[in-house]
Amino acid sequence: MKRKTRILVTGSAGFIGHHVVMALQEKELEVVGLDVINHYYDPDLKYNRLKEQGFDRSQIGYGTCIRSATTPFSQFVMLDLTDRSALEKLFQEKQFDVVVHLAAQAGVLYSLENPMAYVESNLVGFANMLEACRQHPVKHFLFASSSSVYGQNVEIPFATHHKTDQPISFYAATKKANEVMAHSYAHLYGIPTTGMRFFTVYGPWGRPDMACYQFAKCIAEGRTIRLYNQGNMWRDFTYIDDVVAGVMKLLTRAPKVTKKKKITEAPFRLYNIGNNQPVQLLEMVALLERGLRKKANIDLLPMQPGDVPVTYADVESLVTATGYRPRTTLEAGIGKFLDWFKAYYTTMPTEKAA
C-alpha cells in the first residue's frame, strides 16, 4: 500500500509552523514537526502550541521523535538545525517527500542586538537544511522568507521582481541570503524550491514580539504603546488562516525547470503571501481598544533603525499560480485574535502577562 505523503515542518512550535501543522493534521497527512524550542520568547507558549497538536511536554526530549496523542500519523522532534549529524539521521530515517522550512531566528530589532543568533539559525541552519534535501532528495522544498527583504523599496505594492539587494536590517539580509542560497541548490541539484515572503502575520498563538500581540498586552496592562515614524506606519497585516491557505496551496505545486529565450531556469519560484491591503498601525490600535474596551496610551517616536514605513504585497503571481485570495478583514482577524488572547491569559499563570 502506498504510504501517505511525509512532510517535515521545521519551526513547528512557532506561530506559523503551529498553524501549518494543525492544517496538515486536519487533512490526515503524515507530518513530522521539528523545533529547538529556544528562549527568544516564553517557551511555555511554544509548549502550549505543541500541546494543542497533541504532544505531551513531559515526553519531549532532544533528538527523540514522539507521536501525537490526538493524531497518530503526526510526530514531533526537538532538534537544533545547527546539529548537522542529528539532522542527517532524521532525514535518513524519515525519507521526507516535502519540507516546509519555517524555522528561523525572527525579529528585526533583535538582529541589531544579537546578529550571531541569525548567523547560526538563518544561515548555518538553512545551509544544513539545503544539504539534507540534497543528500536525501525531496519532491518540494518550501521555505519562509520575509517582506523585510524589500528594504527601502519605494515601488509599491512590493512585487517579487523588484530589486531586493539593499536590506536595511541584518534579519532581512539573512532572509535575502536564504533566497540566493536556495536558488543555487535548485539550479545545481534540481531541488524544486519555493520561497514564501510573508507579510506581517497575526492571529491566535502569535509571537509576543509582534505588533498585534504587543499592542494588546500594553493596552490590557495599561502600559504605553510606542509607535514609530510619528505613527505614520503602514503594514500589510495578513491573518494566519490566509497565510496557511497560501502555504497549503503551494505544497503540491512544485516548480519545474523551464526554458525562456534559450536560458534554462532552475525549478525555483518566489511568492508574496500577504493581504494586499496595508493599513495604518493606528487603525489596528483602534480595533484593539474597541475589543479590549480600554484606551491605549500612545507615545509617538521617530523612525527606528532597520524599520520601514510601509509594506504592501503584490500577490498577483500567487493568485495566478494557485487561485489564492486573502479573505480575512483586519476587523474580523483582530476579533479572532482577541478571543484567543483573552482566553489564553485567563487560563495561564499571571506571569505570562508580564
Active site residues: 171
Amino acid identity, position 242: D
Cell of 333: 482577524
| CA dist list (Å): 302 to 110, 213, 227, 286 | 18, 22, 8, 21
- C-alpha atoms less than 13 angstroms from C-alpha of 92 in its C-beta half-sphere: 6
With a CB cutoff of 8 Å and minimum separation 6, the contacts of 262 are none
| CA dist list (Å): 265 to 149, 160, 215, 254 | 22, 16, 44, 14
Backbone angles phi, psi at 188, to 5 degrees: -75, -40
Beta bridge partners of 31: 7, 74
With a CB cutoff of 8 Å and minimum separation 6, the contacts of 322 are 246, 249, 250, 253
